[in-house]
Amino acid sequence: MLFLQNPPRYLFFTGKGGVGKTSIACACAVELADAGKKVLLVSTDPASNVGQVFGGTIGNRITPVDSVPRLSALEIDPQGAAQAYRDRIVGPVRGVLPDEVVKGIEEQLSGACTTEIAAFDEFTGLLTDTALTAGFDHIIFDTAPTGHTIRLLQLPGAWSGFLEAGKGDASCLGPLAGLEKQRAQYKAAVQALADPGRTRLVLVARAQAATLREANRTHQELAAIGLSQQYLVINGVLPLEALQDDPLAAAIHQREALALANMSAELKALPQDSLALKPFNLVGLDALRHLLNDAPVPYSTVPSAVQAPTAPNLSQLVDDIAADGHGLVMLMGKGGVGKTTLAAAVAVELAHRGLPVHLTTSDPAAHLAQTLDGTLNHLTVSRIDPHEVTERYREHVLSTKGANLDAEGRAMLEEDLRSPCTEEIAVFQAFSRIIREAGKKFVVMDTAPTGHTLLLLDATGAYHRDIVRQMGDKGVHFTTPMMQLQDPKQTKVLIVTLAETTPVLEAANLQTDLRRAGIEPWAWVINNSLAACAPASPLLRQRAGNELREIEAVATQHAQRYALVPLMKNEPVGVQRLLDLAGHSLEKV
């Protein structure tokens, strides 16, 4: 493996949920420990299953892994770290500032940025406190901070009081309140991250267009702030020997080859390793020791066939959606789970029934015209340009909130406005203009804002509160976009996931965020399921069997209703194939 040749002291593994970061980090730790090195494995992943992988309990302390000499592990609890971080910041002002101001600060501190920065706050000590880690040759981090977080921590000046003074806007400044005491430590940590002699970043992706695009964005973001020592690992590539006269396996292989061929020039230029798709769950030492090599692994208990779970298909979900005659349908989920394709499939299903539909997306990579590959009566399509609407939003905030700031304050506001939250808020404002159409037709929306962004809009967004204040006293009937999203009669939220452990956990966390925003998800959609399409290849049959537990968890623990969508042999492009995907006339594979 190239990424393991002459490894520096620090190794970071980063990538989208479900691509295999934890498994690769664990396998890397085992290999280095087996080679005689003393290794500390640190996980900051909220879905961490490091303890499960090694068959023991780790927790928030450095713990020797009994089964692997010279290996210790530590699981930083991001949620616990975030709560302690919030308490440290909000505690001193509770009872001093008005309750409304305190609530606003708490909401600013409720999202993913706070969790990420709090986790970074925890492990900067591991990068800077030599006494704490003096006995280890290598420290391996599962889930690295994003470039956005590091940029925020690099900013000069004092953050305390910035929000309370009303200088910020509804975005990501909240998590940075009160960081001045740690600034020297953060500076040293960022220097360690940017030093190629000490740190190596490993981008983990799958041979899929969506995750490769995400890896490219991460590469550019980290390189722009000086973290240039990067390697790329393509995980879970279907091996040629798995094809075995299986049309589905052959189609997957062809799709992966195309995605890799179309990978960006920047990613192609990185040192690159490819790991074959394994038939087994990556739990236990035997599995980990087989992950980083191509030695043949005997299949264990390969089912002769996997009985597809009895579950509704997408077309059956649309039956219930169509009964209302109009409304807003929002598809939410992490990147790479197939929201755009499923949004197109829902829209086509509705339009095929003669219902008027407006399909809209803000995904810059969502080539809806190519996905639809034609026109359909009753269906209109639009795309919101995230860059364009975000620039307009930034200009508005800088000309209003930033008009009277000094240079330092304006620099902080400009950095805040480069955050992911800013784009989501700007896109939501653009979506809000389209939402009004849902009173007369169906509006199907792809790439919706996250629950945290919706909370910010509700708690600190001027539009919703101003309308409530102005109209409420006059007895006038009114509906804001936020109220429409919270009304199950007007809005149906579909959470999209995959039948894998990490994507299901991330979808469950999204559902929790939405509920905090007063939005109850209407259904879950499990996409690209092998269990639903009876593969012939032994490797794919094994993996199909592994999906059953996650499908059962969605059906019994998470979702009020759900649909199971098979992995299709052919790319779901064109009206007929989108109907096939939905189960309207299920494609045989």
- CA-based R_g, the chain, Å: 24
Which H/E stretch holds residue 237?
Answer: strand 230-237
Full-prediction pTM beyond 0.95?
no
Count of beta carbons in the 10 Å neighbourhood of residue 176: 26
Backbone φ and ψ of 329, nearest 5°: -120, 115
pLDDT of residue 587: 42
Angle at 407 between CA 406 and CA 411, to 5 degrees: 120
Structure tokens at 143: 């889930």
Question: Are 317 and 523 contacting, i.e. CB atoms less than 8 angstroms apart?
Answer: yes
Residues in Cβ contact with 254 at an 8 Å cutoff, skipping those fewer than 6 apart: none
CA distance 41 to 12: 10
Buried b (16+ CB within 10 A) or exposed e, 18-36: bbbbbbbbbbbbbbbbeee
The DSSP code for 586 is: P
Sign of CA dihedral 55, 57, 62, 67: negative
The DSSP code for 111 is: S
Which H/E stretch holds residue 26?
Answer: helix 21-34
Question: Are 413 and 167 contacting, i.e. CB atoms less than 8 angstroms apart?
Answer: yes
Inter-axis angle of helices 538-553 and 501-516, nearest 10: 20
Task: Report the SS3 class of residue 450.
Answer: coil
Spatial CA neighbour of 521 closest among 557, 493, 484: 493
Q: Where are the alpha helices (DSSP H) in 139-246?
A: 147-154, 183-194, 209-224
Q: Where are the alpha helices (DSSP H) in 487-532?
A: 501-516
Angle at 436 between CA 434 and CA 439, to 5 degrees: 125
CA atoms in the 13 A half-sphere facing the CB of 166 = 5
Domains in the chain (CATH in brackets) are 2-291 (3.40.50.300), 314-582 (3.40.50.300)
pLDDT of residue 453: 64
Provide DSSP, 279-306: SS-S-SHHHHHHHTS-------S--S--
Q: Is 507 exposed, middle or buried (0-12, 13-18, 19+ CB in 10 A)?
A: buried
pLDDT of residue 379: 92
End-to-end CA distance of the chain: 35
Structure tokens at 168: 């910020």
In tens digits, the chain (589 residues) has pLDDT values of 899 999 999 999 988 777 888 889 999 999 999 999 999 999 876 556 677 778 778 888 889 998 899 999 998 877 777 788 778 778 888 888 888 777 777 766 766 667 767 777 777 778 887 788 889 999 998 876 666 566 555 554 433 344 344 444 445 545 555 555 566 777 788 788 888 899 999 999 999 887 898 889 889 888 887 888 899 999 999 998 888 789 999 999 999 999 999 999 999 999 999 999 988 766 677 778 888 876 665 555 556 667 778 899 999 999 999 999 999 999 998 777 888 889 999 999 999 999 999 999 876 555 666 667 667 889 998 888 888 988 998 888 888 877 887 887 777 777 667 766 677 778 878 888 888 899 899 999 987 666 656 665 555 444 444 445 544 454 545 566 777 888 888 999 999 999 988 789 889 988 988 888 888 999 999 999 999 988 989 899 989 998 999 999 999 999 999 999 999 988 888 888 899 999 875 443 3
The DSSP code for 558 is: I
Residues catalogued as catalytic: 18, 20-23, 45, 502
